[in-house]
């Protein structure tokens, strides 16, 4: 008897390709389409399911999404933190809902069109590796998945390139189907306008340099993030960047690029995958502070509340609230949240 698997179907190329691969592997596939926010396309998902010859379930969870993803997103910005909503959505919405629906239907396994590889070691633990297609790898967004979630998840696309998946999905999706690179609930990319419309905007304040000299005024801290160079609202004779957000005083601090460079930073809220804190290597790692790129060589010092990360060379400071993922080769060891912590020897704060 074929084993059933519940597949999240968005109507796009990746989820269609994942469902097709599972069918070819001999699984009995059931599709589910979740409506979390505006922009979800049930009609496209129905079309894919019909062409694949699989049943499709549809569920609306907009209220839960607003409570679990949008509200924390807005509250973080109000504290001067730049959050990563995709990480929270994967753990608290996508896979939470998939497993709840699967339990109701008596299905053990769930799958999505994420580019990552899930493997199991000799003791039965499930852990993540980067996808074969390094440009599409999404393991960075999956570091918060719990052990109980990981043991029931399949990622069929992990061993395929995007080009191969596009060929797999031919005839299943619209030929002109475009990938979305924006936050799903901010489809036009205007985060500041979204936050203001949702009541999470912040009041106007001062723009200052690192010495506190007044350079101008801003329309709200939610319009800025650390590392930003464009749209600063002041005319400078040299290239300046946002180097710090000061929510206590409502200030945006600007400085030259050198002010962004740090030789260590701190991460908290650690979640380990292939190791425990006690067994995790501390040398020969690489850290990714954003989804793109292969990461920077580093070592880590575990301590109470998290870990201090020491890159092999100074790196540009990342905004508090962003995720940092740590790898040994293509194996995800653990992830954490970049957090402000005063370092000894007047190291830069993160």
Residue keyed to tokens 């040994």: 328
Q: Which of 89, 280, 298, 320 is catalytic?
A: 89
CA distances (Å), 284 to each of 74, 134, 152, 185, 300, in order? 36, 20, 30, 38, 9
E strand segments, the chain = 4-8, 28-35, 56-60, 109-111, 117-120, 126-129, 153-154, 205-208, 214-218, 241-246, 251-255, 261-262, 265-272, 285-288, 296-303, 306-311, 315-316, 323-328, 331-339
Cα-based angle 227, 132, 36 (whole degrees, multiple of 5): 60
- E strand or H helix at 191, and its extent? helix 191-197
The answer to whether 37 is a known catalytic residue is no
Catalytic residue among 86, 97, 184, 280: 184
Tell me if residue 86 is catalytic: no
Q: Identify which of 225, 321, 312 has the alpha carbon closest to the alpha carbon of residue 267.
A: 321
Catalytic residue annotation: 89, 184
């Amino acid at each position: 008897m074929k084993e059933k698997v519940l597949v999240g179907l968005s109507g796009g190329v990746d989820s269609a390709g994942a469902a097709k691969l599972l069918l070819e592997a001999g699984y009995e596939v059931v599709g589910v389409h979740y409506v979390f926010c505006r922009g979800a396309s049930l009609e496209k998902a129905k079309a894919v399911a019909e062409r694949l010859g699989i049943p499709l379930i549809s569920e609306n969870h907009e209220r839960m999404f607003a409570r679990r993803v949008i509200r924390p997103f807005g509250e973080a910005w109000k504290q001067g933190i730049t959050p990563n909503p995709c990480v929270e959505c994967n753990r608290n919405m996508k896979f939470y809902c998939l497993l709840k629906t699967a339990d109701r239907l008596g299905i053990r396994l769930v799958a999505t069109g994420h580019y990552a590889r899930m493997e199991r070691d000799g003791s039965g633990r499930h852990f993540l590796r980067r996808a074969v297609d390094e440009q599409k790898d999404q393991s960075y967004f999956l570091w918060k998945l719990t052990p109980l979630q990981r043991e029931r998840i399949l990622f069929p696309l992990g061993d395929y390139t995007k080009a191969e998946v596009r060929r797999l999905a031919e005839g299943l999706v619209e030929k002109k189907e475009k990938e979305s690179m924006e936050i799903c609930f901010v489809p036009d990319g205007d985060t500041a306008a979204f936050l203001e419309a949702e009541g999470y905007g912040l009041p106007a304040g001062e723009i200052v340099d690192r010495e506190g000299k007044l350079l101008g005024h801003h329309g709200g801290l939610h319009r800025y993030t650390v590392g930003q160079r464009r749209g600063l609202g002041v005319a400078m004779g040299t290239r300046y960047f946002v180097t710090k957000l000061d929510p206590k005083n409502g200030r945006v601090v600007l400085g030259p690029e050198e002010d962004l460079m740090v030789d260590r930073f701190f991460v908290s809220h650690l979640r380990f995958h292939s190791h425990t804190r006690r067994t995790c290597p501390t040398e020969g790692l690489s850290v990714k502070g954003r989804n793109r790129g292969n990461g920077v060589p580093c070592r880590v010092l575990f301590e109470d509340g998290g870990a201090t990360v020491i890159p092999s060379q100074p790196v540009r400071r990342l905004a508090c609230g962003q995720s940092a993922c740590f790898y040994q080769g293509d194996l995800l060891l653990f992830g954490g949240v970049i957090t402000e912590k005063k370092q000894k020897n007047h190291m830069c704060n993160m």
